[in-house]
Amino acid sequence: MRSCYLVEYDLLEYRYSLDLQQRIRVIKEDNRNYDNFLLVLQHNPVFTIGKKGSREDILATEEILTNEAIDVIDVKRGGEVTYHGPGQMVGYILLNLAKLNISVDQFVWNMEEILIQLLKGYGIEGWRKEGYPGTWINYQGRTWKIAAIGARASKLITSHGLALNVNTNMDHFRLIVPCGITEYEPISMEKLLGKKLDIDEIYTKFEQLFETIFEIKLEQITEEELEKRIERDA
């Protein structure tokens, strides 16, 4: 079976995650047979602006950003403005799609399917919305977005990925126009189920579904082992 290294983090500083992904991308573009990686983590509070985004979609003043300790960073992923923070599970997927014979459309479908199946295990019915990558749910007669997808697939090498609101501070989403969407609000699993969830359990279920849906075997390594690999192969 195809393989991929898995690295788990508790809380990862966002700028470091960008640097980490870029260093892996440089190696993968130079060596098309290089390893694939899945990084599963949570971030410090941060608003990220994708290639289609604008600072006008950030509604908070500089004072509020400072008081809430929220960083603002421009990134090269697809999409517009979104929020990451503690209690939100983020999956960064660094694959060579050509080598794996996976199209970009299939890659996005697979990410959505993982999220849909994960939510189903908690009794939450998630679904796709055409033209809006991510995962959606119905609650109190309205449509809500529970997970975002903002991946990059340059030269068929992927980076960035997805974010699922588990125990996320949803008040921070009110400080932006999330993903450029004004008619639908984001929501968390905690809000839907009325209780906090075990984020480690979410990590495990996500990783199991990743293996099944992508048909890729995961091998877990430590943060230190990943850094050593990158330093060795750069």
Enumerate residues 6+ apart whose C-beta is below 8 A from 13.
Answer: 43, 44
State the catalytic residue, choosing from 4, 162, 179, 226.
Answer: 179
Among 140, 144, 143, 198, smallest CA distance to 166 is for 198
SS3 of residue 161 by DSSP? strand
d(CA 163, CA 154): 20
d(CA 211, CA 117): 13
Q: What angle do CA 144, 89, 81 make, to 5 degrees?
A: 60
Element (H, E) at 118: helix 104-120
Enumerate residues 6+ apart whose C-beta is below 8 A from 110.
Answer: 102, 213, 214
179 is catalytic: yes
- The Cα-based distances of 3 to 12, 99, 107, 214 in angstroms read 24, 12, 16, 10
SS3 of residue 208 by DSSP? helix
Catalogue the active-site residues.
Answer: 179
